[in-house]
Amino acid sequence: MASIKVWLGAMRLRTLPLAASVVITGSASSLDSLNFSWVVFALTMSTTFLLQVLSNFANDYGDFNNGADNQDRVGPARAVQSGEITPAQMKNAMVITASLSLLSGVILLYSSLAQTGYLTESILFLTLGLSSIAAAVKYTAGKNPYGYKGLGDLFVFVFFGLVGVMGTAFLQTKEISSISFLNALVIGGLSTAVLNLNNLRDHVNDKAAGKMTLVVKMGFEKGKLYLVILVGLSLFSALLVSFLLDSYLGLLAFILPIIRLIKIMQITEPRNLDPELKRFALSALVYGFIQLVVFLV
Nearest Cα residue to 245 out of 174, 280, 172, 296: 296
Interval 75-81 mean pLDDT: 69
Assigned domain for 9 exists: no
Assigned domain for 274 exists: yes
Assigned domain for 143 exists: yes
Assigned domain for 10 exists: no
Name residues whose C-beta falls within 8 Å of residue 6's C-beta, 6 or more positions apart in sequence: 79, 84, 85
Q: Name the average pLDDT for the chain.
A: 89
Query: In this model, does residue 80 exceed pLDDT 60?
Result: yes
Assigned domain for 15 exists: no
Query: In this model, does residue 263 exceed pLDDT 80?
Result: yes
Assigned domain for 166 exists: yes
- What pLDDT does 68 receive? 54
- What pLDDT does 66 receive? 67
Query: In this model, does residue 70 exceed pLDDT 60?
Result: no
Contacts by 41-46, CB closer than 8 A, 24 or more apart: 41/172, 43/104, 43/107, 43/108, 43/111, 43/112, 44/108, 44/168, 44/171, 45/20, 46/104
pLDDT tens figures, 100-141: 999 999 999 999 987 777 888 899 999 999 999 998 888 877
Assigned domain for 24 exists: yes
Looking at the structure of the chain, the number of domains it has is 1
Structural domain of 254: 20-296
Assigned domain for 60 exists: yes
Supply the pTM of this predicted model. 0.92
Query: In this model, does residue 63 exceed pLDDT 90?
Result: no
- What pLDDT does 75 receive? 56
CB 234 within 8 A of CB 193: yes
Confidence bin at 185 (pLDDT 50/70/90): very high
Q: Which helix or strand (DSSP H or E) is residue 64 part of?
A: helix 38-66
- What pLDDT does 1 receive? 59
